[in-house]
């Protein structure tokens, strides 16, 4: 069992109590909250921004499920396993693809309005790695926003779900048996629950989303600072597959120094027939893979990067001019608007695109019920690693994973509640006090972490580039410790976020440097081949007593 660490925080100024505390308000978090209510459990949803501000809202493409004629869960399973490059947990994928179609029907029953054809049937599109049309979408390219709208509306009608917005989660609280018993958090608001507080609960569910903000350019919103993975590591939980960061191939290129959240150009644009071309108009994906532009995402991202290197270009182009104005306006209104907002008109010109960090395929390790290695702590959605994505997530499997595994967690909690295995917990304050405090870096560390990570641990990486990044991150941690001794940094949201980013970046590099092969989302310049004999296995990361992340290959 790893040592536990905590963010330095003042003693909680207020407390609240519930049955299940859910951190995060994306599809996974809200689905857990709505479903535990069916078992008569009270839920509290804690979210860092406001209820509809998580990553779900930004999802454009859709949700994958075998709903079309001639399709089957088995075919969806095959495509998922191929994309996952040998590291998917096949049984977890089976749960995903067999439960998927009904989970979508239940989402429709909750109120989500998906796009339908003239015959009234739900429309299906294609994305990279799928051999069938199996992606449901809403508002053309605003699927996440519609799902979020429907779930938020359902949550608002349930008086048994309490909400705390503008709340950054800090650390896990446990009882004397080491069972999760609640959380500390910092609410940035006014009124009764302001500042650092504690929520006591019978179980804790983390659905905090991703960690894309460890890189300079990402499709993730500013709130995606790896808070859930950092919390889990500090609490002693195991995380896995952190090295498998997925880079989305087609992110609108806004210049060499563009930082922060970048506009996505959905795979569905390629699914509907747009071509990837270089500056000479050559379709470079043709002949590289049987699916050309619709190859799995890792293959397309690597091919774009390679072409950019060969030609000394800063980006490639996505050409959808042949769609015509009506298709752009009706099928891709969000993308059309965001391109035009940046001075590009996809109806008359190709869109400049380049890969950017998009999705963490790894995360807090869970079983098929969403249980982590710590009793009473569950995780689902992007923060979790259920095993369904392997080394590279298949497009549009993420919202589906959030839905399906949120339902699995709710079922597990309901069963434990019925069996009397989910009693009220007494928070062990001594356990919290015994944990070691993590020095807080100044908030400026955030930009430095992003710069180091983008330079050394992007699509292309090598032992040398990662050693530079690791040294830079170690220096930041050392400086934070020095400064903390002299004058502790203010415990504020930006310093806590900087501490979380520094920790998850350090853990990610530790795992990525160990994996001496090229698999899934990344490309090792010094180990260009996949090495199944040594590396067809996961790396499990925990924190050592020193606070340093340690990655250990799983036994084969």
DSSP per-residue codes, 177-202: TS-EEEEEEEE-SSSSS-EEEEEE-S
CA distance 261 to 188: 22
Q: Is 297 a catalytic residue?
A: yes
Gyration radius of the chain over CA positions: 22
| Closer to ligand SIN by Cβ: residue 18 or 396 | 396
Q: How far is the CB of 395 from ligand SIN (least distance, A)?
A: 4
Q: How far is the CB of 207 from ligand SIN (least distance, A)?
A: 17
Q: How far is the CB of 48 from ligand SIN (least distance, A)?
A: 21
Are 168 and 186 in contact by the 8 Å Cβ rule? The answer is yes
Report the first-to-last Cα separation within the chain, whole angstroms: 21
| Closer to ligand SIN by Cβ: residue 144 or 441 | 144
Q: Longest Cα pair distance anywhere in the chain, in angstroms?
A: 70
| Closer to ligand SIN by Cβ: residue 226 or 376 | 226
Q: How far is the CB of 56 from ligand SIN (least distance, A)?
A: 11
CA distance 550 to 511: 8
Instruction: Report the relative pairing of strands 351-360 and 245-252 from DSSP bridges.
Output: antiparallel
Q: How far is the CB of 310 from ligand SIN (least distance, A)?
A: 25
Are 171 and 55 in contact by the 8 Å Cβ rule? The answer is no
Question: Looking at 297, 307, 461, 524, which residue is catalytic?
Answer: 297
CA distance 151 to 143: 12
| Closer to ligand SIN by Cβ: residue 267 or 319 | 267
**135-136 sheet: strands from edge to edge:** 63-64, 135-136, 124-125
| Closer to ligand SIN by Cβ: residue 284 or 359 | 359
| Closer to ligand SIN by Cβ: residue 6 or 393 | 393
Question: Which residues of 10-62 form beta strands (DSSP E)?
Answer: 15-17, 20-23, 43-46
Q: How far is the CB of 375 from ligand SIN (least distance, A)?
A: 32
Q: Is residue 546 classed exposed, middle or buried when 0-12, 13-18 and 19+ CB atoms within 10 A define those classes?
A: exposed
Tokens of 38: 């069916």
Which of 535, 292, 232 is CA-nearest to residue 391?
Answer: 535
Tokens of 289: 């893979």
Determine the distance from the C-alpha atom of residue 231 to the mean position of all C-alpha atoms in its chain, rounded to a whole number. 15
DSSP per-residue codes, 107-139: HHHHT----B-TTSPBPEE--TT-SS--EE-ST
Residue facing ligand SIN at closest CB distance = 61
| Closer to ligand SIN by Cβ: residue 167 or 254 | 254
316 - beta bridge partners? Answer: 353
**161-164 sheet: strands from edge to edge:** 161-164, 43-46, 20-23, 203-206, 377-379
The C-alpha angle 408, 410, 413, rounded to 5 degrees, equals: 110
Backbone angles phi, psi at 225, to 5 degrees: -110, 25
Q: How far is the CB of 353 from ligand SIN (least distance, A)?
A: 11
| Closer to ligand SIN by Cβ: residue 305 or 334 | 334
Q: How far is the CB of 62 from ligand SIN (least distance, A)?
A: 7
Residues that bind ligand SIN (CB under 6 A): 60-61, 266-268, 359, 395-396, 398
The residues annotated with a catalytic role in the active site are: 297
């Amino acid at each position: 069992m790893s040592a536990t660490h905590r963010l330095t925080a003042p003693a909680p100024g207020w407390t609240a109590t519930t049955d299940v505390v859910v951190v995060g308000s994306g599809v996974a978090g809200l689905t857990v909250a709505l479903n535990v209510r069916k078992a008569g459990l009270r839920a509290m949803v804690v979210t860092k921004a406001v209820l509809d501000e998580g990553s779900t809202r930004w999802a454009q493409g859709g949700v994958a499920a075998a709903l079309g004629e001639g399709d089957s869960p088995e075919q969806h399973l095959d495509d998922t396993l191929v994309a996952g490059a040998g590291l998917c947990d096949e049984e977890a994928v089976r749960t995903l693809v067999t439960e998927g179609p009904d989970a979508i029907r239940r989402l429709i029953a909750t109120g989500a309005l998906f796009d339908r054809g003239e015959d009234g049937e739900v429309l299906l599109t294609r994305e990279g790695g799928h051999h069938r049309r199996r992606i449901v979408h809403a508002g053309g390219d605003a699927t996440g926003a519609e799902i979020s709208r429907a779930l938020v509306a359902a949550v608002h009608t349930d008086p048994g779900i309490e909400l705390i917005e503008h709340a950054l989660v800090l650390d896990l609280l446990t009882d004397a048996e080491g069972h999760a018993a609640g959380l500390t958090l910092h609410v940035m608001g006014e009124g009764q629950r302001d500042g650092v507080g504690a929520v006591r609960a019978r179980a804790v569910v983390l659905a905090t989303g991703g960690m894309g903000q460890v890189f300079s350019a990402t499709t993730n919103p500013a709130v995606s600072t790896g808070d859930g993975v950092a919390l889990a590591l500090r609490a002693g939980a195991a995380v896995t597959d952190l090295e498998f960061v997925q880079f989305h191939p087609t992110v609108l290129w806004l210049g060499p120094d563009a930082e922060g959240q970048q506009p996505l150009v959905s795979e569905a644009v390629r699914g509907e027939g747009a071509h990837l071309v270089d500056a000479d108009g050559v379709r470079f994906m043709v002949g590289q893979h049987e699916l050309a532009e619709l190859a799995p995402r890792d293959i397309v991202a690597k091919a774009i990067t390679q072409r950019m290197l060969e030609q000394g270009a800063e980006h490639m182009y996505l050409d959808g001019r042949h769609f015509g104005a009506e298709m752009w306006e009706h099928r891709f209104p969000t993308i059309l608007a965001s391109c035009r907002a940046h001075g590009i008109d996809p109806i008359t010109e190709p869109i400049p695109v380049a890969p950017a960090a998009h999705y963490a395929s790894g995360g807090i390790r869970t079983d098929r019920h969403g249980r982590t290695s710590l009793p009473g702590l569950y995780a689902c959605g992007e923060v979790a690693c259920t095993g369904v994505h392997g080394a590279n997530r298949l497009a549009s499997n993420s919202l589906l994973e959030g839905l399906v595994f949120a339902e699995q967690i709710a079922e597990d909690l309901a069963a434990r509640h019925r069996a009397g295995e989910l009693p009220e917990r007494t928070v062990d304050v001594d356990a919290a006090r015994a944990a070691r405090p993590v020095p807080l870096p100044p908030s400026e560390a955030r930009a430095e972490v992003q710069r180091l990570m983008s330079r050394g641990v992007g699509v292309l990486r090598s032992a040398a580039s990662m050693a530079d990044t690791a040294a830079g991150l170690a220096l930041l941690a050392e400086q934070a410790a020095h400064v903390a001794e002299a004058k502790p940094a203010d415990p504020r949201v930006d310093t806590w976020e900087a501490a979380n980013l520094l920790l998850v970046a350090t853990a990610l590099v530790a795992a990525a440097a160990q994996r001496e092969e090229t698999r899934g989302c990344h490309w090792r310049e010094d180990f260009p081949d996949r090495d199944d004999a040594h590396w067809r296995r996961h790396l499990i990361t925990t924190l050592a007593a020193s606070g340093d992340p340690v990655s250990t290959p799983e036994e084969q």
